[in-house]
Structure 1
Amino acid sequence: MVFSRRALALASQLLHNASAAGPIVQQQHLHTCSRLAGSAALKQLNEVNNEKKSLVIFDKDGTLICFHSMWVPWTLETAKRIEEHSSLAISDKIFKLLGFCPHQQKVRPGLLAEGTMAQIRQSIVQLLTEHGVDAVNANRIVSDSVVECATHSKHTLKEIHDLQKLFGDLKRHGVKIAICTADSRIGTMGMLESLGLNQMVDRVVCGDDEGAMPKPHPRNALTICADLGISPEQALMVGDTVADLGMARSARLGGSVAVLSGVGEHHDLHHLADHMVDSVGDLMPIVLGASKVGSSAAPLNL
């Protein structure tokens, strides 16, 4: 059985109170208290979950579209260009820096999955200077080699779920839609246009927007809420990385949903997520408050 992460704190607190009662509470009474605490916590949590959210903030890559189909080719080509321009055999170190596994041909949690393009470029400049390249040449090499990923290319753009249907369902229920991504605005808007979603999204914040802060900083989420007139408590964050879920927590949003369709795995995300699902295809019951505890959340070990 799986439960929502918030139930753990509620059940644990009730159980702690029973344990602190002293010797008059025997072992069998503690066991009963544990069961009652769990039931009370789940009842309270379900009451909270029954509230429909007014805004869903989506991460993009790994959440709405396939991360690996776009960024694996980009990583391989970028490392190749850097080696050619620098005459250094450092592909393996670039892969490690970005969080790319060349054997599995997959991106793992790390700089590429969670950082902005500016952060990636800066980190590669530092890597080159550590290998004896002077700062001027290092910046030139990175400028020539680390180009924007064609995240809206039809050859690499793959929806994780039927996004027209998902966004349409959200709109029919009066839920606003926002996207908060570390990707560039050119790539993000190109993706939305390619998939015919640009008219369905109420707000977009990208990694290269002026004033934007990298996740998990709360600024982007709070800006989205303010611009759309939605209180943070009525917003739900959906993402596939620790940075996504960390932003939800730092901004004190009304909930977070971890999807297992991107780079993050269960053990990476469960401690930060209120819910955990395979993909955004399982999202609607959570948004509408119809999802009962035990249907889609991270495992709870009581």
Structure 2
Amino acid sequence: MPDYQLLVFDWDGTLADSVARIVESVLAAADRFDLHPPDEAQIRGIIGLGLPEAIAALYPELDSGLAERFRLAYADHYLTLDTTPPPLFPGVVEGLEALRAAGYRLAVATGKSRRGLQRALAGHAWQDYFEITRCADETASKPDPRMLHEILARCGVAADRALMIGDATFDLLMARNAQMDAVAVGYGAQSLERLRPFAPCLEIMEFAELRHWLMPVTRRCSLEGV
């Protein structure tokens, strides 16, 4: 296994258990404009994209004006649900603390807006927790590798020393496009069956599995440096 230095995490469905809020908000916006409601599997299939790209995938027939009104309706509804931050998945807090203490550098690459991510980070008192975060509205949406390229450049880490962890095909395809390894998260928006064709180097159904997989390498490297 490569000696990874930098771990890049998706947010929704990977660190935060927010998929149900996203599904509800899409359905609320669709109802507001009398649009046919997508089923839950369709909505889960676009989680990870930037919001404009997600709306276009669900409703390609919408003109730009209605798509923007849909975006605002979605954001308004999501905000009403976001009076408390979505909970983090079991093992995330302990796992990230252990990985950071072991010397791994942590980053986030998300389809959320910058405002949405900052609100989520503040809700967990994590404003300065990650070395760098990149959001879809300030760079290219997944699966374009631009946000990963920007993270790697800012951190000064080569692609083969970084690992992308995500629960959507867009995460794994983005990693492939950036020539990075990826971990498939099966407890979030999409199933491992959907993610497996992208050849992840690890599949997990609990966050603790990532910690256990990475920590032996850290211990070995630490001993070699003594």
TM-score by length of 2: 0.84
Contact 1:78/1:145 (<8 A) preserved: yes
Contact 1:82/1:145 (<8 A) preserved: no
Counterpart of 2:130, as a letter, is V
Contact 1:237/1:248 (<8 A) preserved: yes
Alignment partner of 1:145 is 2:57: no
Alignment partner of 1:263 is 2:214: no
The alpha-carbon distance between structure 1 residues 125 and 259, as it changes in their structure 2 partners (threshold 3 A), is closer
Partner of 1:13: none
Partner SS, residue 189 of structure 2: coil
CA distance in structure 1 between the partners assigned to 2:168 and 2:49 by the alignment: 11
Per-residue deviation at 1:54? 0.7
The Cα offsets for residues 229-273 of structure 1, whole Å up to 9 and x where unpaired, read as 1111110110011110111111111x2110111122121111221
CA distance in structure 1 between the partners assigned to 2:160 and 2:68 by the alignment: 45
RMSD (Å), alpha carbons: 2.6
CA distance in structure 2 between the partners assigned to 1:76 and 1:115 by the alignment: 17
**1:219 corresponds to which of 140, 146, 152:** 146
Aligned ranges 1:208-247 → 2 under 5 Å: 208-209=137-138, 212-247=139-174
Partner of 2:222: none
- Identical counterparts, % of pairs: 22
Runs of 4+ with deviation above 4 angstroms: 121-126
Partner of 2:224: none
Per-residue deviation at 1:163? 3.1
Aligned ranges 1:284-295 → 2 under 5 Å: 284-288=211-215, 290=217
Partner of 1:3: none
Counterpart of 2:140, as a letter, is M
Partner of 1:196: 125
- Tell me, which stretches of 5 or more residues in structure 1 are unaligned? 1-48, 84-89, 130-134, 292-302
Per-residue deviation at 1:289? 5.1
Partner of 2:22: 71
Contact 1:178/1:201 (<8 A) preserved: yes
**1:91 corresponds to which of 26, 36, 46:** 36
Partner of 1:177: 106
Aligned ranges 1:23-172 → 2 under 5 Å: 49=1, 51-83=2-34, 90-92=35-37, 95=38, 100-101=40-41, 107-109=43-45, 111=46, 113-122=47-56, 126-128=60-62, 138=66, 141-142=69-70, 145-147=73-75, 149-150=78-79, 153-155=82-84, 157-172=86-101
Contact 1:152/1:191 (<8 A) preserved: no
Partner SS, residue 150 of structure 1: helix
Partner SS, residue 261 of structure 1: coil
- Tell me, which stretches of 5 or more residues in structure 2 are unaligned? 219-226
CA distance in structure 2 between the partners assigned to 1:116 and 1:249 by the alignment: 18
CA distance in structure 2 between the partners assigned to 1:74 and 1:164 by the alignment: 26
The Cα offsets for residues 180-220 of structure 1, whole Å up to 9 and x where unpaired, read as 001111111111111122222010000111xx112121111
Counterpart of 2:6, as a letter, is L
**1:186 corresponds to which of 115, 119, 125:** 115
CA distance in structure 2 between the partners assigned to 1:140 and 1:239 by the alignment: 27
The Cα offsets for residues 20-58 of structure 1, whole Å up to 9 and x where unpaired, read as xxxxxxxxxxxxxxxxxxxxxxxxxxxxx1x43110000
CA distance in structure 2 between the partners assigned to 1:218 and 1:275 by the alignment: 20
CA distance in structure 2 between the partners assigned to 1:247 and 1:151 by the alignment: 31
CA distance in structure 2 between the partners assigned to 1:139 and 1:265 by the alignment: 28
Counterpart of 1:68, as a letter, is V
Of 231-240 and 272-281, the range deviating more from structure 2: 272-281
The alpha-carbon distance between structure 1 residues 249 and 151, as it changes in their structure 2 partners (threshold 3 A), is farther
